[in-house]
Amino acid sequence: MSEGKNTLWNLFRERKLSRRTFMKSCVALTAILGLPPTMLNKVVEAAETKDVPTVLWLHGQECTGCSESFLRSKAPYATDMILNIINLEYDDTLDAAAGAPLEAHLDQVMKEQYGKYVLVVEGATALGNDGTYCMIAGKPFNERLKQAAAGAAFIIAYGSCSSWGGIQAADPNPTDSVEISNVIYGKKIIRVPGCPPIPEVMTGTIMSYAMFGELPPVDDQGRPKQFYGNRIHDTCYRRAFFDSGMYVDEFDDDASKAGWCLYKIGCRGPETYNSCGNLRWWNGLSYPIQSGHGCIGCSEPHFWDNGDFYTRLPNIPLPGTITSADTIGTIAGFVATGAVIAHGGITLAKHKYDDIQLEKKEAAEAAKKADEAKNNKSEGGNQ
Ligand code: FSX
Ligand code: SF4
Ligand code: F3S
């Protein structure tokens, strides 16, 4: 593949896709690269002149939820990404081919594109019993992983399993499973953790390399800063309730129906770094907290072993105070919300909460009246 031949624009033309479709993909790419709209021209120029990257995608110990998440990405659509935007040469989960011919193809691409391809790895790798707990095409996955890593330009650990070991490395870790960085040396590994991760983060990382020859800036854990710079708690739309001491005490209680903060039923948002509150899933449709469940910290190292998912984090202080959420929650429980209702969002939720209480009271009164009427009637009938 020579420089400039296998460009995004050429691929679109070969597939008889219109300039309009090409431009729409460039707009989507500009957004996932986190660039302002004014940079669209630069993205278009790069898409017309730079070769699309060859990607090899390996699967180790995992549930394949990461691919499930990726396949539902909409900005850009996963089909666009796989068919038009990257040159996906191997993915043993998605490929129609299988067995020896597919493995031979992988060998060929690794040889021909040595030093140039992007390696995406889903899942952890097993060291126990000489790696035989995870076999791919008759060989320990661990061997295939090291072989593919040797010729990669860089590696993306896609998901918490390849990033941190994930569920199979959780106590008691019967297969001696480890994160991929434990067996790969001297290579740049970008971590895109989450169980599953947000697909646009990986797309953005690959395309930033493809378009501008640069990887995005990463934090000290190797995660793209742009996507892992904030806590879930910092972008949470329920945050005003946390700050005001308005908490759900148990699933399905009235506070839960009114959308209050989930901290007390185990939300780990205050200690978890990810972009769920901004990007969400399925084209921005939802994420765990929006569905009524606390964040379980799925992008953090060893989150399966970090304690019970439904026990609250201890002593998380409120912003600018030394008061913990527990203290203010207790106060709020008794004092209700004189100062609290100044906040517009809170006021609405308080009204909603009050409405629920009123409805309950009215229903109880109606039931009581109905009972009384029934009793009066039967007493009358007995006379
Ligand atoms: Fe792990 Fe991914 Fe969780 Fe599952 O590939 S990060 S168990 S969503 O599938 O590896
Ligand atoms: Fe949101 Fe959880 Fe923080 Fe509450 S504790 S504001 S639900 S992230
Ligand atoms: Fe995971 Fe928490 Fe986001 S559980 S999906 S990091 S809200």
Same domain for 66 and 184, yes or no, is yes
Indicate whether 23 belongs to any domain. Answer: no
Mutate to test the pocket of ligand 1, among 164, 195, 201 (most ligand atoms within 8 A of CB): 195
Residue 197 CB less than 6 A away from ligand 3? no
CA of residue 296 to ligand 3 center, whole Å:
6
* pLDDT given for residue 116 in this prediction: 93
Whole-number Å distance between alpha carbons of 43 and 321: 45
Same domain for 223 and 74, yes or no, is yes
List, chain by chain if needed, residues with CB within 6 Å of any ligand 2 atom.
Answer: 232-233, 236, 238-239, 242, 261-263, 267, 269-270, 289, 294-295
CA of residue 288 to ligand 3 center, whole Å:
6
CA of residue 273 to ligand 1 center, whole Å:
17
Atom of ligand 1 minimally distant from the CA of 166: 1
CATH number at 277 reads 4.10.480.10
10-residue stretch averages of pLDDT, the chain, 383 residues long: 68 86 85 82 89 92 93 70 77 89 96 96 98 94 97 96 98 98 97 93 82 88 93 96 94 95 96 93 89 97 95 77 57 40 51 68 79 74 50
Q: Are 22 and 47 in contact (CB under 8 A)?
A: yes
Taking the whole predicted model, whether its pTM rises above 0.85 is answered as no
* pLDDT given for residue 64 in this prediction: 95
Q: Are strands 152-158 and 189-192 parallel, antiparallel or unpaired?
A: parallel
Same domain for 252 and 331, yes or no, is yes
Torsion on CA atoms 196, 133, 176, 144, rounded to nearest 10: -70
Whole-number Å distance between alpha carbons of 328 and 350: 17
Whole-number Å distance between alpha carbons of 119 and 136: 16
CA of residue 53 to ligand 3 center, whole Å:
29
Strand partners, 140: 135
* pLDDT given for residue 368 in this prediction: 82
* pLDDT given for residue 304 in this prediction: 97
Which contiguous run of DSSP H or E holds residue 105? helix 100-112
Same domain for 218 and 243, yes or no, is no
Same domain for 224 and 237, yes or no, is no
* pLDDT given for residue 144 in this prediction: 96
Judge if the upstream peptide bond of residue 76 is cis by omega within 30 degrees of 0: yes
B/e letters for 344-371, b = 16+ CB within 10 Å, e = fewer, are eebeebbebbeeeeeeeeeeeeeeeeee
3-state secondary structure of 192: strand
CATH number at 217 reads 3.40.50.700
Same domain for 196 and 105, yes or no, is yes
Same domain for 259 and 352, yes or no, is yes
* pLDDT given for residue 187 in this prediction: 96
Q: Which of 200, 228, 256 is the last residue of a domain?
A: 228
Indicate whether 211 belongs to any domain. Answer: yes
Indicate whether 246 belongs to any domain. Answer: yes
Give 275's contacts (C-beta < 8 A, 6+ positions apart): 198, 201, 227, 228, 230, 235
Judge if the upstream peptide bond of residue 172 is cis by omega within 30 degrees of 0: yes
Mutate to test the pocket of ligand 1, among 57, 58, 61, 66 (most ligand atoms within 8 A of CB): 66
Instruction: Tell me the torsion sign for CA atoms 202, 208, 209, 215.
Output: negative
Six-digit token pair at 290?
């929006």
Mutate to test the pocket of ligand 3, among 298, 303, 306, 313 (most ligand atoms within 8 A of CB): 298
Count the Cβ atoms, other than its own, within 10 Å of residue 188: 12
DSSP classification of residue 25: H
Owning domain of residue 203: 50-228
Q: Which of 189, 209, 228 is the last residue of a domain?
A: 228
Atom of ligand 2 minimally distant from the CA of 232: 8
List, chain by chain if needed, residues with CB within 6 Å of any ligand 1 atom.
Answer: 62-66, 122-123, 159-161, 166-167, 195-196
Same domain for 261 and 344, yes or no, is yes
Residue found by looking up tokens 């990033």 in the block:
163
* pLDDT given for residue 271 in this prediction: 95
Same domain for 215 and 294, yes or no, is no
Long-range contacts of the stretch 323-326 (C-beta < 8 A, 24+) = 325/242, 325/245, 325/247, 325/263, 325/264
Whole-number Å distance between alpha carbons of 53 and 209: 8
Which ligand has the shortest distance to the CA of 274? 3
CA of residue 314 to ligand 1 center, whole Å:
28
* pLDDT given for residue 319 in this prediction: 58
* Total structural domains within the chain: 2
Nearest to 6 by CA among 54, 44, 59: 54
Q: Which of 228, 259, 283 is the last residue of a domain?
A: 228
Same domain for 151 and 268, yes or no, is no
Q: Are 299 and 197 in contact (CB under 8 A)?
A: yes
Please state, in angstroms and as integers, the Cα–Cα distance from residue 349 to each residue in 78, 233, 257, 343, following that order. 37, 19, 10, 10
Which ligand has the shortest distance to the CA of 69? 1
Six-digit token pair at 254?
């009235």
Residue-level length of the chain: 383
Whole-number Å distance between alpha carbons of 19 and 8: 11
Q: Are 95 and 157 in contact (CB under 8 A)?
A: no
Nearest to 264 by CA among 308, 329, 334: 329
Side-chain-side CA neighbours of residue 368 (13 Å): 6
